Amino acid sequence: MSSTSSDTPTRILQATLKLLEQPDAKLPTMSDIARASGVSRQAVYLHFPSRTEVLVAATRYQDQSNDVNAALAPSRTARSGTERLDAFVTAWGNYIPHIYGVARAILAVVDTDAEAAAAWNTRMADMREGCAAAVQALVDDGSLPERTDPEQATDLLWTLLSVRTWENLTQTCGWDQDCYIDTIRGLALAALAQDTGALTDVLAHTEGRA
């Protein structure tokens, strides 16, 4: 347990995360990673077979450090379906900023690298289970409209909560985090729980944009 953080693979991952979390981060090369880790380029290959694997391992390491499950725990204890939906949107929505640096790097190589795509898909499948659970909670207490297909509802929630959507609103449009959360929550509640009141207060506070 005395993971002193001084073993080389760990140092490489930590250095990689540090690179990726820089605000204007480009995709780091193997040389970048090696330099940042204080290690030779070949040493990186001694521990990771390819750059993609470094990135993928970095995301795993990060999830482990951040303890996603702990962050998402509150949503599992919620009583009603709408409460659970609300809690899940809040928890995940607020988790995104923590992983955005790494997510951006992975997403940048997903189009050209099957392995990165697989890793990202796995991660997103995990998140989708949270969506599915929230939808199921709605079904359980009858909040989900009868004619609505739970599978489709899950797809929609999953899309609303995607990193790309977060990126669009907060990074490109400059919304602040609270505004993003309120809006997505409103949309989700309106679409999945027919809670139209949730939408009326959204998009109202003008100071929420940069």
Partner DNA sequence: GATTTGCTTTACGCAGTGTCAATTGACAGC
Partner DNA sequence: GCTGTCAATTGACACTGCGTAAAGCAAATC
Binding residues for DNA, rule: CB under 7 A, are 7-8, 29-31, 38-43, 45-47, 49-52
As measured in angstroms, the least distance from the Cβ of 5 to DNA is 13
46 binds, among DNA, its own copies, none (CB under 5 to 8 A by kind): DNA
Interaction between residue 204 and its own copies (CB under 8 A)? yes
As measured in angstroms, the least distance from the Cβ of 210 to its own copies is 11
As measured in angstroms, the least distance from the Cβ of 31 to DNA is 5
Q: Which is nearer to DNA, 46 or 125 (CB)?
A: 46
C-alpha distances out from residue 73 to 32, 65, 67, 77, 151, Å: 36, 15, 10, 7, 23
Q: How many residues does the chain have?
A: 210
Single-letter amino acid code for the residue at 81: G
Beta partners for 209? 175
The rounded distance, in Å, linking the Cα atoms of 69 and 181 is 19
Compute the C-alpha angle 205/178/136, nearest 5°: 115
Write the DSSP symbol of residue 171.
I
Site size for its own copies (CB under 8 A): 42
Q: Which is nearer to its own copies, 7 or 201 (CB)?
A: 201
- Look at residues 67, 77, 82 and name the one whose alpha carbon lies nearest to residue 157: 82
Local structure of 175: helix, strand or coil: strand
42 binds, among its own copies, DNA, none (CB under 5 to 8 A by kind): DNA
Q: Which residues bind its own copies (CB under 8 A)?
A: 26-27, 104, 107-108, 111-112, 145, 147-149, 151-153, 155-156, 158-159, 162, 164-165, 168-169, 173, 175, 179, 183, 186-187, 190-191, 194, 196, 199-204, 206, 208-209
